[in-house]
Structure 1
Amino acid sequence: MAGIHITDIEAAINFWREKTPSPDGITLAPELRALAEVYALMIYYHEDEAQERGFPPKAYAAWKTWYDTTPDTPCIAICSTSQGDADCKGCGRTFEEVQYWPEMSPAQKRQTWRRITLQGDAWRFNRYSERAVEGEAGQPAA
């Protein structure tokens, strides 16, 4: 089973800190408390992943709420796996990851996102990232 990386738990914690700030600087929202327990245990045991299957239900629900705000797929509609490449030049996923993406668990998808982001050599991270900026601003990037 897939693991949820500590950086995703940190992102979920920050999401909930912004969404439900502490009213007194001490009290945590239930979602934050659930995620903080998992995070603290990971730090204590020097783990960088927590298995999706064993995640406490309340912490998983809080993490999943954050996860649902992230893009589902890294696809940029330029798929070289359909041309026989083992890894897609557009998004960086392997042929198997592209093929089985709809069946993958959220943690498996996040593992893939983490790998392709760290590699950073797919077109989505270089050639076409400028186009995304152009589209957002409505004019060419400087």
Structure 2
Amino acid sequence: MAGIHITDIEAAINWWRHRQPSPDGVTLSAPLRALAQVYALLVYYHETLCDEHGMPAAARQAWLDWYASTPDAPCIAICSTTQGDAVCKGCGRTFDEVQHWPSMTPADKRQTWHRITREGTAWRFNRYADRVRPDAPPPPLGAR
């Protein structure tokens, strides 16, 4: 089952709270209400994954809007799967994940992101972490 992790629902809620803050501290925007309902059910049933295709349409659209604001691929342009590695040293994805990334669903992509982040062994998390920081200055001309 392609599932959306509860932490992604939380991230989407926080993204929408920043985009459409409550005018009175109580009232929620429609996307927030939709996501809050899904989040509450996950908590109530002690679940960590929500079925991507079973979400109410408004919640799924709110989540997809947040998802569109996130980086798509974990690639840092150092791909060792092209050299025969089963798992890329640069991004941490498996050969199959790299090959099928364009056809994967958003939930499948997020599951991959969660796994490689949890493992934290790819170069994107240590050796070349500065490549993925949005505020990182460009490298000096001699370093390119």
TM-score (norm 2): 0.92
1:60-98, Cα deviation, whole Å (9 max, x unpaired): 000000000000000111111111111000000000000
In the TM superposition, what is the alpha-carbon distance from 1:53 to its structure 2 partner? 1.2
1:93 maps to: 93
Q: Gapped runs of 5+ residues in structure 2? A: none
Output the CA distance in 2 between the equivalents of 1:131 and 1:20. 31
1:112 maps to: 112
1:31-76, Cα deviation, whole Å (9 max, x unpaired): 0000000000000000000010101100000000000000000011
2:124 touches 2:132 (CA, 8 Å); kept in 1? no
Output the CA distance in 1 between the equivalents of 2:108 and 2:58. 20
2:126 maps to: 126
Alignment of 1:40-55 (within 5 A): 40-55=40-55
Q: Secondary structure at the residue paired with 2:77?
A: coil
Q: Quick check: 3-12 or 74-83, which moved more? A: 74-83
Specify whether residues 132 and 116 from structure 1 end up closer, same or farther in structure 2 by C-alpha distance, changes over 3 A only: closer
2:21 maps to: 21
**What is the identity, as a one-letter code, of the residue corresponding to 1:61?**
Q
1:35 maps to: 35
**What is the identity, as a one-letter code, of the residue corresponding to 1:127?**
R
Output the CA distance in 2 between the equivalents of 1:131 and 1:106. 23
2:69 maps to: 69
Output the CA distance in 2 between the equivalents of 1:56 and 1:31. 11
2:3 touches 2:52 (CA, 8 Å); kept in 1? yes
Q: Secondary structure at the residue paired with 1:4?
A: strand
Output the CA distance in 2 between the equivalents of 1:67 and 1:78. 24
Q: Percent same amino acid among aligned pairs?
A: 67
Q: Secondary structure at the residue paired with 1:13?
A: helix
Output the CA distance in 1 between the equivalents of 2:123 and 2:72. 17
Q: Gapped runs of 5+ residues in structure 1? A: none
